Amino acid sequence: MGYPFTSALVTGASSGIGEVMADLLGRAGVPTVVVARRGDRLAEIADRHDGFEVLAADLTTPEGQQVVAERIASVDRPIDLVVNNAGFGTSGTFHELDVDRLDREVQLNIAALTRLSHAALATMVPRGRGWLLNVSSIAGFQAAPKLAVYAATKAYVTSFTESLHEEVSGTGVKVSVLCPGLTRTEFQQVSSTDHYADTFPDFVWTTVDDVANAGLDGVSKGRTVVVPGVLYKGVVAASGITPRGLARRISGLVQRG
């Protein structure tokens, strides 16, 4: 498809949803800055497309956040679309988990995303043009026992991005939040949810292609909240009318690992 943006920066572009978004942008002729820690994987993706730029950075560190924020704010090489996609989860009982890992999860899912959203909008709003897509999760719509920190970080991302969408309305800048359901990527292995995720039936899985397409299409059209797949649209609609206690218990049964 043709996109309205003429340049892009995607975090977490070395695998999964971010990699597919980078490929979609590349195939549409949009020069893209690909960001993640694994520079070798980014270089392979950049080799597939014209005008791609590799920016290897650890977004859990202040230095990594700073270098990516500076690239987003560049006046000489402007970025039209910023996708804050990098993120990870940690499955398990909260008080038994490694607290340093949970700190890094909060740094990546919340602090880096906030910092890079600021860099994006502070540059785009005065320019009167730009697109910001933040990747959240359907896990952000209700509590998730055994994925407590992850669900809370994604609740932040959804609320924060919805607010920004309204704040910049009328400036020429579009802000959207993408809330995928279960999607097979490296996420399941990284978050240690693979042992029970593998038991879920096929119909609960959304394809990574559908998720990436829905995100880029949604932000192009200026949608506020983008939920890929009919099943998850229904889940989100139901979460608005289901009592919180019931939603919490159902969610706890799903993360039964």
Ligand X SMILES: NC(=O)c1ccc[n+]([C@@H]2O[C@H](COP(=O)([O-])OP(=O)(O)OC[C@H]3O[C@@H](n4cnc5c(N)ncnc54)[C@H](OP(=O)(O)O)[C@@H]3O)[C@@H](O)[C@H]2O)c1
Count of chain residues binding ligand X (CB under 6 A)? 29
Alpha helices in the chain (DSSP H): 16-27, 39-47, 62-72, 99-106, 113-127, 148-167, 187-190, 194-197, 208-220, 230-239, 244-254
φ/ψ of 54, rounded to 5, equals -100, 130
53-56 vs 81-84, strand pairing mode? unpaired
| Residue 74 identity (one-letter amino acid) | S
**Interface with ligand X by CB under 6 A: which range of 6-14, 23-31, 90-98, 215-223?**
6-14
Q: Which two tokens stand for residue 142?
A: 């209700």
Least distance (Å) between residue 126 CB and ligand X: 27
Least distance (Å) between residue 103 CB and ligand X: 12
Contacts of ligand X in 12-71 (CB under 6 A): 12-18, 36-38, 41, 58-60
150 a catalytic residue = yes
Residue 41 DSSP SS3: helix
Nearer to ligand X, 208 or 247 (CB): 208
Q: Which two tokens stand for residue 236?
A: 């989100």
Q: Quote the CA–CA distance of 12 and 159 in Å, as a whole number.
A: 21
Among 117, 158, 183, 255, binds ligand X (CB under 6 A): 183
Is residue 137 within the footprint of ligand X (CB under 6 A)?
yes
**Interface with ligand X by CB under 6 A: which range of 10-18, 23-31, 119-127, 217-225?**
10-18
**Interface with ligand X by CB under 6 A: which range of 74-82, 162-170, 186-194, 216-224?**
186-194
Least distance (Å) between residue 185 CB and ligand X: 3
Residue with tokens 């730009």: 130
Which CB contacts under 8 angstroms, 24+ apart, belong to 48-57?
A: 48/23, 49/22, 49/23, 49/25, 50/26, 52/22, 52/26, 55/9
Among 106, 125, 190, 225, binds ligand X (CB under 6 A): 190
Is residue 187 within the footprint of ligand X (CB under 6 A)?
yes
Among 43, 88, 156, 210, binds ligand X (CB under 6 A): 88
Nearer to ligand X, 114 or 171 (CB): 114
Least distance (Å) between residue 129 CB and ligand X: 25
Contact 54, 42 (CB under 8 A): yes
The one catalytic residue among 3, 150, 156, 196:
150
Nearer to ligand X, 104 or 129 (CB): 104
Burial tier of 1 (Cβ tally within 10 Å: 0-12, 13-18, 19+): exposed
Nearer to ligand X, 106 or 125 (CB): 106
The catalytic residues are: 150
Query: By the criterion CB under 6 A, which residues form the site for ligand X?
Result: 11-18, 36-38, 41, 58-60, 85-88, 108, 135, 137, 180, 182-183, 185-187, 190
